[in-house]
Amino acid sequence: MSDSNQKPGPPPDDFSETVPNIKVPGGSGASGGGDDWSKTNYNYPKQPTADEWGKTVANIKPIDIDNDDFGKTMYPGARKAPEVDWGATQANVRVPDTDFGGGRGDEGYGKTTPYFQLPDDLRQKYEQVPPTPGEVAAEEQAAAKAQGGIPGWVWAAAGLLAMFMFAVVVLVGVLLWNSVGSTFDAVVRNPPIGADIFVDGRLWGVEQPDGSILLQNLKPEGDRTITIVHPAFECEAATVNSSKREVVARCRQAAVKPGEDCSRIGLGEEDKAERCYNAALDGLPDPFTAEQLKNALNILIINFESGKFDIPAKRMEALKKGAGFIQKLPPSVVLEVGGHTDNVGSDASNQTLSDNRAKAVKDALVTFGVRPEALQTKGYGPTRPKTTNDTDLGKFYNRRIEYSVVRQ
Q: Which DSSP helix (H) or strand (E) runs through 126? A: helix 120-127
Can you say whether residue 222 is alpha, beta or left, with left for phi > 0 and alpha for psi between -120 and 50 degrees? left
DSSP state of 101: T
Beta carbons of 353 and 309 less than 8 angstroms apart? yes
Angle at 156 between CA 154 and CA 159, to 5 degrees: 110
Distance CA 213, CA 37 (A): 106
Beta carbons of 26 and 36 less than 8 angstroms apart? yes
Give the percent of the chain with pLDDT over 90. Answer: 36
Q: What is the pLDDT of residue 108?
A: 45
User: What's the mean pLDDT when you consider all of the chain?
Assistant: 76
Fold of 184-253: Immunoglobulin-like (2.60.40)
pLDDT tens-place string over residues 355-385 = 999 999 999 999 999 999 999 999 999 999 9
Beta bridge partners of 207: 213
Separation in Å, CA 143 to CA 146, 148, 150, 175:
5, 9, 11, 45
**Mean pLDDT across 63-72:** 47
Angle at 316 between CA 358 and CA 291, to 5 degrees: 60
**Quick one: CA torsion of 102, 107, 109, 114, rounded to 10 degrees?**
-130
Helix H segments across 182-315? Answer: 270-282, 290-297
Whether the CA torsion 269, 270, 271, 272 is positive or negative: it is positive
21: Cβ contacts below 8 Å, ≥ 6 apart: 1, 2, 8, 110, 113, 116
Query: Right CATH number for 270-407 from 3.30.70.100, 3.30.1330.60, 3.30.1360.120, 3.30.1330.10?
Result: 3.30.1330.60
Most confident range (mean pLDDT) of 80-84, 102-106, 133-137, 205-209 is 205-209
Chain-centre distance for alpha carbon 170: 17
Q: In this model, does residue 388 exceed pLDDT 50? A: yes
Q: What is the pLDDT of residue 396?
A: 83
* Residue 116 binned pLDDT confidence (cut-offs 50, 70, 90): low
Q: In this model, does residue 103 exceed pLDDT 70? A: no
Q: What is the pLDDT of residue 170?
A: 84
Distance CA 139, CA 141 (A): 5
For residue 279, count CB atoms less than 10 angstroms from its CB and return exposed for 0-12, middle for 13-18, buried for 19 or more: middle
Give the percent of the chain with pLDDT over 70. Answer: 64
Name the residue ranges covered by the structural domains of the chain. 1-149, 184-253, 270-407
pLDDT tens-place string over residues 332-346 = 999 999 999 999 999
Distance CA 294, CA 407 (A): 12
Distance CA 266, CA 13 (A): 137
The DSSP bridge pattern shows strands 334-339 and 202-204 to be unpaired
pLDDT tens-place string over residues 127-185 = 666 777 778 778 877 776 666 666 667 777 888 888 888 888 888 777 766 555 588 89
DSSP state of 111: G
Can you say whether residue 403 is alpha, beta or left, with left for phi > 0 and alpha for psi between -120 and 50 degrees? beta
Q: What is the pLDDT of residue 390?
A: 92
Q: Is the peptide bond before 287 cis (omega within 30 degrees of 0)?
A: yes
pLDDT tens-place string over residues 279-323 = 999 999 999 999 999 999 999 888 788 888 999 888 999 999 999
Beta carbons of 275 and 260 less than 8 angstroms apart? yes
